[in-house]
Structure 1
């Protein structure tokens, strides 16, 4: 199934997912994908959610956590020029509602067999499965591991990229360099603006795929809560305001990935580091490993993910008593990243050529806080068991 992942991801990136209709002078391809899922947990004091969601699942099963629907159309002008647009509906943003977004909208110029250029709204190639992370059918796992894919919440950017692809013997190399500006709206009225540069190199050789990526961005976070916190620190003259900048700071993200599809054995792993020059977006190290075995139409699999913080989790010397104690607690709470470990087992069943049924059970263990659970209430603690079932399809 990882071969399917790579094929769909590559086709999607090239804007030739599948063909549904064509015209003599301007061929058009239309394709779609979706996931219909139910997700629940065994804990009502916190909600399990995916990146960028305002609400998640508790003990009551919900459809919105892992469900989405997308349609992609590509119009080919000639052998060199094409236009691609992808619409995506999902629960994402500052309200707990399904919203429609224009995920991709770009023009592509193919200079020759090796070089191509895309301009418009493109997917940011930050992760191993950036192009296919919303296409459930393209992935063995029911969802990308939160520990890694929570670190950079941006899916796309307005800008462009240059792609070079060439085969050297049995190895195919793909190099990509992208530039773009992006905006993301998340819960609590927070808006993230980013100007990013991303470079990646992918090598494919037989059953193995290796990927190295690096992103650098100038970022501004507009958050009423953070802005009020920083204003309080400045007014109290605590001497740490220069470490709490949320406007025009620099962030870096480096990831290394591996995919293997050898005979019936599947493996996928990704290791990532995030570094910034503000303590309000902590430095982190995250990784995951997936192992699976293909048994006819069935793929049982296991996933382990982990996220830890590399920067400080508290400022020493801040007042812990008196009128500034609450402000100190707020600051030390704000500079803590979510820490958690997840062990998951799942089963994928390809019951139809373009549809798969999946079940997955995650055991999530937050550390020193709520991890990546949201809307938590007093008394919340882990571990938390997350149950999910989904039907993934493409057409």
Structure 2
């Protein structure tokens, strides 16, 4: 979405507030807030590029500002005791080479009772422990969310509605959130992921310094505008029909990501007690398309020493299931001469699927870092990651043939809110 459009939407609550004030209606004023991160990131390899999930390019033996940097602006307009409007714009590098702007939130919220509220519009998709503030660096202890877990869902928001119920049971507060809607999100390579009939349930319980959370999401996923994927699917069908290989038609139907059912389940736990900080999540993705079935998890631990929080973490991503390549390596004797080169090209195309598009390769990351809250609403972070791909190129971009290296990634970031 264009920056001018986002600026207009963010300014709308202010315009409404001003109009009411001029009419003497005593309308509450709009509240403007924001967040941002200025970061510098470096990876010690020239054989691949390190980037955040869904970025089009990353660092390859060079210092990059765009990997971990962003800027967000939010406008909140309370209409009365039960109705409010919120809009949030975000500028970052996502699915394109340069910085782009997006409308991440735009909703109306109705408070139906002390325990129950409803939001309608564009809302955050509640699939992770830190879904609502994953892009707010200051709100997170680590410099970036672990990619092994947070790369599994390409959607940050959903256009629809959600209902939230919160209730206290003694010293424990239980919150449940149910969201439903659809979404279209850009992916690298000028393609898009569409989600229809998306439903997400998120339940959490807080008791003192402990929080436990469980979530489940389901929907129909379509990957569109991908010329290479459409060509592969069409080639499989044509070759299967022309050379009498029925398994290729079946494979094409399995690969084609058109309104295919997908599910995502996650479980998280966090603790902030006596200077000890712990956070962990486990997540599992399943799809009916070529996108890999995966399991991922991370665990982070830290200890506060004054204004400093040194921390360590380990994250892991494992492929549970992928498309079985049923394209033959060669055609039987008696087939036309063009048959074998055709099936070899198709077989290679299918083999590349698990590590292309929104597919993923296995990897693990060991992290050490420190956070320094040296001023009010400002934190400085430094983090070093050792990223090890497994059975492929992991989540790295533009990897050269044979790349299997363990890569050291270093980053410094200044997080702030206002």
TM-score under structure 2 length normalisation: 0.87
Secondary structure of 2:189 counterpart: helix
Q: Is the 8 A contact 1:320 1:328 kept in 2?
A: no
Equivalent pair of 1:38/1:389 in contact (CA under 8 Å):
yes
CA distance in 1, matches of 2:164, 2:305: 36
> Hey, what does 1:390 align to over in structure 2?
413
Report if aligned partners of 2:209, 2:273 keep a CA contact under 8 Å in 1: yes
2:147 corresponds in structure 1 to: 146
Contact 1:357 1:390 in 2 (8 A): yes
Q: Deviations over 1:212-242 (max 9, x none)?
A: 0000011110121111111111122151223
| 46-55 or 69-78, larger mean C-alpha shift | 46-55
Give yes or no for the alignment of 1:241 onto 2:252: yes
Q: Does the Cα contact within 8 Å between 1:87 and 1:102 map onto a contact in 2?
A: yes
CA radius of gyration, larger in: 2
What 5-or-longer segments of structure 2 have no aligned partner? 1-20, 332-339
Question: Is 2:347 the partner of 1:328?
Answer: yes
Following TM superposition, where does structure 1 have runs of at least 4 consecutive aligned residues deviating by more than 6 angstroms?
A: none
Shift of 1:380: 2.7
Say if 2:218 is the partner of 1:207: no
RMSD (Å) for aligned C-alpha atoms: 1.6
Q: 2:384 aligns with which of 351, 361, 367?
A: 361
- Which residue in 2 is equivalent to 1:371? 394
Measure the CA separation in 1 of the matches of 2:27 and 2:255: 56
Pick from 30, 38, 46 the counterpart of residue 32 of structure 2.
30
Tell me the residue number matched to 1:310. 320
For residues 257-282 of structure 1, the C-alpha deviation after alignment (integer angstroms, 9 at most, x for no partner) is 0011111110000000001112x111
In 2, Cα distance between equivalents of 1:81 and 1:147: 38
The Cα shift of 1:180 comes to 1.4
Aligned to 1:243, the other structure's residue is in SS state helix
Secondary structure at 1:148 match in 2: helix
Query: Equivalences for 1:180-329 in 2 at 5 Å?
Result: 180-195=181-196, 196-222=198-224, 223-237=226-240, 238=245, 239=247, 240-278=251-289, 280-312=290-322, 314-315=324-325, 318-319=328-329, 322-323=340-341, 324-329=343-348
Corresponding residue SS for 2:231: helix
- Distance, in Å, in 2 between the alignment partners of 1:234 and 1:53 is 32
Whole-Å separation in 2 of the counterparts to 1:339 and 1:175: 32
Partner residue in 1 for 2:180: 179
1:25 positional shift = 2.0
Distance (whole Å) between structure 2 residues aligned to residue 242 and residue 352 of structure 1: 56
Report the CA distance between 1:320 and its aligned residue. Answer: 5.7
Q: Give the structure-1-normalised TM-score.
A: 0.91
CA deviation after TM superposition for structure 1 residue 313, in Å: 6.0
User: Aligned pairs, how many?
Assistant: 373
